[in-house]
Chains A and B, each alone.
Chain A
Amino acid sequence: MTNVSVAKEDAAPTGDLVVLESVNKHFGALHVLQDIELTITRGEVVVVIGPSGSGKSTLCRTINRLETIDSGAISIDGKPLPQEGKELARLRADVGMVFQSFNLFAHKTVLQNVMLGQIKVRKTDKKKAEEKARALLDRVGVGTQADKYPAQLSGGQQQRVAIARALAMDPKVMLFDEPTSALDPEMINEVLEVMQQLAREGMTMVVVTHEMGFARSAANRVVFMADGRIVEQAAPDQFFSNPRSDRAKDFLSKILHH
């Protein structure tokens, strides 16, 4: 495979990259995140699972401050999340995000989608940005669609473009907020394969998903959330074969046997 993107730090490959300390958040009366403690080390793939409404998407979105938090602290690569403004924009550029509904810029072509951040945020010159964008699109398997508009692509293709758009910023960590939940079943695998490959290449990833197969095969750690709390975290083998909490047992029994 090509060696574009996937910025590897020249510094130590280990160390804490994302740290959440006693994070709390309310949506009105709903206490959606309750005393969340989570540390993600460099190169780690963390899969967050749990029932709907358990706060896992919100957790994912707090990491680049698309959702604000009420109390607690979040830091990325040792730096606390800044307030809204230039600093935050700079930090968000280092955190790739992939959304459930793709959110490709609808008025721009696929190629422009992947070039925009490089040119406007990283100030890369156009030619280099295009080269990189085309290489990334080839890598996720949609190179031939570069000049189309997002609406002309299938869901799976759009999501792979979204991954390429995030990778174009050379992120330190990638957040995936239910990346396959809006896809037709036959398109899920093409997206998961790209994610598997990223995981193998050592990208730090936080993945909120319902794809247990992906969690088993790609995750270093599974975080199980319910009712706004992290109920259990463990290596995938251990979690799926031998969950400790009743809540996790109950959840797994409902999704794994049918």
Chain B
Amino acid sequence: MFDFLEGYDLLGAFWVTVQLTLLSAVGSLIWGTMLAAMRVGPVPLMRGFGAAYVNIVRNIPLTVIILFTSLGLNQTLGITLGGGDDFDTINFRLAVLGLILYTSAFVCEAIRAGINTVPVGQAEAARAVGLNFTQVLTLIVLPQAFRAVVGPLANVLIALTKNTTVAAAIGVAEAALLMKEMIENEAQLLLIAAIFAFGFVCLTLPTGLILGWVGKKVAVKR
């Protein structure tokens, strides 16, 4: 029944999906946290930039952003992100960039919601001890904010895992591209769809369960 799978690198394709997910997750966590810091910071210019970024980027379809990285950044501006002449590498990196740009808007808003759960008194006490703005944010506010939003961040991570399929649009050889190829070549459409659906559930279900448990574990008791 599964004979038709021979000749297709199913695991390899999902491995690319995992790599896309993990690299984009790390990148968007960093950039999203920086955006959140800008949005709660004292500098009006940065607050404005953060707000504008989030409101613009989260309202653009991911497909448009991913296509822009390829058509705009790469083919028009000649940006290769250090990928040399290797199109696979370049497209993979462009896809990661696009996913980071997009996902960080959602990460930023999740973290900002977390910052709002930290009582004002925590920051006031930190300032009263003599910590500067960056220290207040990184030592007191953000650690507590992160603990409050592990659940929402897990949602973003699950969405990101599934969003990596959009990278197929610029030819990154991840799971969705392989699925498209198999659907074109083979007759077992339902089975193929089921296999890929199962593959994604295998990636995302543990993410949700583990992070849900972590969220409870690290919650700040008040």
Contact = CB atoms under 8 A, between A and B. Distances in A.
Interface of A: 64, 66, 84-86, 89-97, 99, 101, 103-107, 116-117, 120-121, 149, 151-152, 162, 165-166, 169
Interface of B: 42, 119, 121-122, 124-132, 135, 139-140, 143-144, 147, 220-222
Contacts of B128: 64, 66, 92, 95-97, 99, 166
Given A89-B132, A149-B221, A105 B127 contact: no
Contacts of B140: 105
Contacts, number: 70
A92 B130 contact: yes
B127 A89 contact: yes
Given A106-B122, A107-B147, A165 B221 contact: no
B130 A106 contact: no
Contacts of B222: 106, 151
Given A121-B131, A165-B129, A169-B129, A107 B143 contact: yes
A151 B124 contact: no
Nearest to A152: B221
A108 B124 CA distance: 16
Contacts of A99: 121, 124-125, 128
Nearest to A104: B125
Contact of B125 (A89, A90, A105, A107): A105
Contacts of B122: 103, 105-106
22 contacts: A66-B124, A84-B42, A89-B127, A91-B130, A92-B128, A93-B129, A93-B130, A94-B130, A95-B128, A99-B121, A103-B119, A103-B124, A105-B126, A117-B129, A117-B130, A120-B131, A149-B221, A151-B222, A152-B221, A165-B129, A166-B128, A169-B129
Contacts of A85: 132
Nearest to A168: B129
B144 A106 contact: yes
A106 B220 contact: yes
Given A84-B42, A97-B125, A101-B121, A107 B131 contact: no
A187 to B, nearest CB: 18
Nearest to A122: B130
Contacts of B125: 97, 99, 103-105, 162
A183 to B, nearest CB: 16
Given A117-B131, A120-B139, A151-B222, A107 B144 contact: yes
Given A103-B124, A106-B144, 18 more contacts: A66-B127, A84-B42, A89-B131, A92-B128, A95-B128, A99-B121, A99-B128, A101-B119, A101-B121, A103-B119, A105-B122, A105-B125, A117-B130, A120-B131, A121-B129, A151-B222, A166-B128, A166-B129
Given A84-B42, A149-B221, A151-B221, A103 B130 contact: no
B127 A121 contact: no
A90 B135 CA distance: 13
A120 B147 contact: no
B221 A121 contact: no
B121 A92 contact: no
A99 B128 CA distance: 10
A38 B143 CA distance: 39
A94 B143 CA distance: 26
A116 B126 CA distance: 9
Given A103-B122, A106-B122, A120-B139, A169 B130 contact: yes
Contacts of B139: 116, 120
B121 A120 contact: no
Q: Which of A84, A97, A107, A149 has the most CB of B within 10 A?
A: A107
A113 to B, nearest CB: 9
Contacts of B143: 107
